[in-house]
Structure 1
Amino acid sequence: MTDHTEQEGRRPSNDGPKAAARNRAALVAAAREVFAEHGLEAPLSAIARRAGVGQGVLYRHFPDRAALVGAVLEENVRQMEQAAESEDATLPGLLGVLTWHLAESAAFIGLLHSSRAGSRSDLRSHSTALSERVQRGLRAHLPRGHRLSAGDLELAVAMVSATVIGPTREERERRALAAWRLLGVEVGPVRPFGG
Structure 2
Amino acid sequence: MSSTASSRANSPSRPNRGPAAAAENRRALITAAREVYAEGGLNSPFSAVAKRAGVGQGSLYRHFPDRTALAAAVFEDNVRELEEYVAPPERTIDDLLDRVVAQAVVSTAFIELITADMSDPRVAALGARFNALVTQLVERDRSAGRIGAHIDAADVTMAAGMLATELARTEASARPEVGARAKALFVAAFAPRSAD
CA distance in 1, matches of 2:176, 2:20: 34
Q: Is 2:79 the partner of 1:83?
A: no
Letter matched to residue 117 of structure 1? D
Residue 15 of structure 1 and its aligned partner are, at CA, apart by: 4.6
Instruction: Count how many residue pairs are aligned between Structure 1 and Structure 2.
Output: 173
Q: Is 2:51 the partner of 1:49?
A: yes
Question: Which residue of 172, 175, 184 maps to 1:172?
Answer: 175
CA distance in 1, matches of 2:91, 2:163: 21
Q: Is the 8 A contact 1:80 1:94 kept in 2?
A: yes
| Structure 2 CA distance for partners of 1:83 and 1:156, relative to 1, 3 Å | same
Q: Is the 8 A contact 2:38 2:107 kept in 1?
A: yes
Q: Is 2:134 the partner of 1:134?
A: no
CA distance in 2, matches of 1:84, 1:73: 16
Counterpart residue number, 1:190: none
TM-score by length of 1: 0.72
Extract unaligned runs of 5+ from structure 2: 189-196
CA RMSD of aligned residues (A): 2.9
Counterpart residue number, 1:191: none
Letter matched to residue 64 of structure 1? D
Q: Which has the higher contact order (CA 8 A, sep 6+)?
A: 1
Identity %: 37
Larger radius of gyration: 2
Counterpart residue number, 2:158: 155
Extract unaligned runs of 5+ from structure 1: 6-10, 186-195
| Structure 2 CA distance for partners of 1:180 and 1:110, relative to 1, 3 Å | farther
Deviation per CA, 1:42-101, whole angstroms, max 9, x where unpaired?
A: 211221222222323312322232322222222222222222334653333322222222
Residue 133 of structure 1 and its aligned partner are, at CA, apart by: 1.4
How do 1:103-142 residues align onto structure 2 when only pairs under 5 Å count? Answer: 103-106=105-108, 107-108=110-111, 110-111=113-114, 113=115, 116-117=116-117, 121=119, 123=120, 125-142=121-138
Counterpart residue number, 2:65: 63
Runs of 4+ in 1 over 6 A off after TM superposition: none
